[in-house]
Amino acid sequence: MDRIILIGLNHKSAPIEIRECLAFDEPDTRAGLGMLRDDPAIDEAMIFSTCNRVEVLLSAHRPDAAIAAAKRFLSTTKQVPLAVFESSLYLHRGEAAVRHLFRVAASLDSMVLGEPQILGQVKGAYRLATEQKSAGVILNRLLHRTFFVAKRIRSETGIGDHAVSISYAAIELGRKIFGRLEGKQVLLIGAGEMAELAVDHLVRHRTGRVYVANRTFERGVALAAKYQGTPIRFEEIGAHLGKVDIIITSTGAPGYVIRQADVKGIMRHRRNRPLFFIDIAVPRDIDPLVNQVNNAYVYDIDDLQEVVDDNIEDRRREAVKADRIVDEAVVQFRRWYDSQGVVPTIKALNAKLREVAAAELQKTLGHLPHLSAEDQQAISRMSEAMVKKILHDPTRFLKGNGCHGDRAVYLEVARRLFKLDEQMEQRANQDPDRPTEPSEP
């Protein structure tokens, strides 16, 4: 399996300064794939570039030449001297490359463990490779397995469960209180990146009207426009506590903006509907005693950070399970890969033809009982000889150098023409790695 090579760098091996120099956007990738495909040492190629990593996946019949070519390729296309980034590069061959790819797609290698975007990004990179015709038999199979493994990990482990960002953790808590956030009214007090991000998330969950209160009314007006919300004056906050459901505070005020008495007084008026305070400000804007009021819930920045830390811990635990699935998948891929070799293919081809001949022979002889034993033997010898003759040329072709670098392609064609994969799979005693691939582009 040494012909599968993965070379690249990521957030762990290289600082942002290097990663940004080597990043490939879509046109870059298309052009790059063309160059790699045309390199005589390389059979198949895929380029995978995100803000956290740049990786080149290759299948090559001359691995060492291919590695050198890939390094040269990175250096020349990006016009960065190899010496600058060579020490940041990692190189995986064979099983290690397969494992690395599986782990990347399953988000086990990501900066935020379990983040969901990466699978889509791998799919995008593969789509480009198929469009540029730089992916062949091996990469096709490898990538389909990758998608399968990543999906399996997502559904069978909790790697993607629960929020790992402050603003998203707040949303999750909100759903534990309100069930559905649809139609819930939001009040944003103050401004700030994290608070606004939380409001963004809420709006995406189709919450109702957004009110924005700011010390400087003009600022509030501008912010409210962003969410098609309603700006209110700071003095009006008390009056609005009766109708809103979620309150996000992020002001620079030195003291509490909302006190226990404010909330206690309003609860009867709002018929005890729950009130959820998300206090992102330091110093805090919400009196912690508000949390003691029935049906009012207060989470400050530390509480949310704790939720996030716990969730990250959970994901780490799940990652162990995920790695087990990856190991299993690597073994299965190896089994498939080995079955793609010359010898297994020729063996399977042999077996298939012999089986056909033997079956037909038996059928024919069954109808000709009058033949003598010698006649029967003669016919049987003839059929064997035919099988041998027929197999002679294809065997030589597959074994010899007739197929140049594209042996994998010819092996694949041979297996497809004679439907050998089914046969080999039955023989491999119900190989669990059946081609139940999802139909990716």
Partner 1 sequence: MQTAFVAALLIYMLSAAAYCAYLFLQRNPLQQAGNLLLVTGFTAHTLAIGWAFAATGHFPAGNLHETLSVTAWSIAGAYLLLGLKFHLKILGAYVAPLTVFILLAAFQFPRTPTQPENLLQGVWLTTHIVTIFLGYAAFILAAGTGVLYLLQERNIKAKTRGFFFKRLPSLDMLDTTGYACIVFGFTMLTIGLITGMVYAKAVWGRFWAWDPKEAWSAVVWIFYAVLLHERLAVGWRGRRTAIMAIAGVGVLLFAFLGVNFLLKGHHGQFTQW
Under the rule (CB under 8 A), what is the footprint of partner 1? 162, 173, 175-180, 268, 270-274, 291, 294-295, 297, 299, 303, 306-307, 310
Measure the CA–CA gap between 212 and 222, rounded to whole angstroms.
Answer: 9
- The answer to whether residues 76 and 165 touch, using CB atoms and an 8 Å cutoff, is no
Give the active site residue among 15, 16, 38, 51.
51
Min dist. Cβ of residue 162 to partner 1 (A): 8
Rank residues 313 and 393 by Cβ distance to partner 1 and give the closer one.
313
Rank residues 178 and 234 by Cβ distance to partner 1 and give the closer one.
178
Cα dist. 6→22, 54, 356 in Å? 16, 10, 42
Measure the CA–CA gap between 367 and 376, rounded to whole angstroms.
Answer: 12
Residue 409, CB-side half-sphere exposure with 13 Å CA sphere: 13
Rank residues 270 and 334 by Cβ distance to partner 1 and give the closer one.
270
Consult the annotation and say whether 194 binds a ligand: yes
Give the three-class secondary structure for 230.
Answer: strand
Beta strands in 225-332 (DSSP E): 230-233, 246-250, 275-279, 296-300
- The answer to whether residues 108 and 322 touch, using CB atoms and an 8 Å cutoff, is yes
Min dist. Cβ of residue 318 to partner 1 (A): 13
Consult the annotation and say whether 295 binds a ligand: no
Burial of 52 by CB count in 10 Å (0-12 exposed, 13-18 middle, 19+ buried)? buried
Measure the CA–CA gap between 80 and 84, rounded to whole angstroms.
Answer: 7
Min dist. Cβ of residue 291 to partner 1 (A): 6
Give the three-class secondary structure for 210.
Answer: strand
Min dist. Cβ of residue 296 to partner 1 (A): 9
Consult the annotation and say whether 35 binds a ligand: no
The residue behind tokens 């029967």 is 376
SS3 letters for 140-198?
Answer: HHHHHHHHHHHHHHHHHCCCCCCCCCHHHHHHHHHHHHHCCCCCCCEEEEECCHHHHHH
386-389-394 Cα angle (round to 5): 130
Rank residues 170 and 420 by Cβ distance to partner 1 and give the closer one.
170
Rank residues 89 and 296 by Cβ distance to partner 1 and give the closer one.
296
Contacts 24+ apart (CB under 8 A), 230-238: 237/187, 237/189, 237/213, 238/262, 238/266
Task: Give me 216's structure tokens.
Answer: 């400087």
Rank residues 175 and 396 by Cβ distance to partner 1 and give the closer one.
175
Consult the annotation and say whether 116 binds a ligand: yes
Task: Give me 279's structure tokens.
Answer: 């206090």
Min dist. Cβ of residue 412 to partner 1 (A): 38
Q: Is 51 a catalytic residue?
A: yes
Min dist. Cβ of residue 260 to partner 1 (A): 14
| Binding residue ranges for substrate | 50-53, 110, 115-117, 121
Question: Residues with catalytic annotation?
Answer: 51
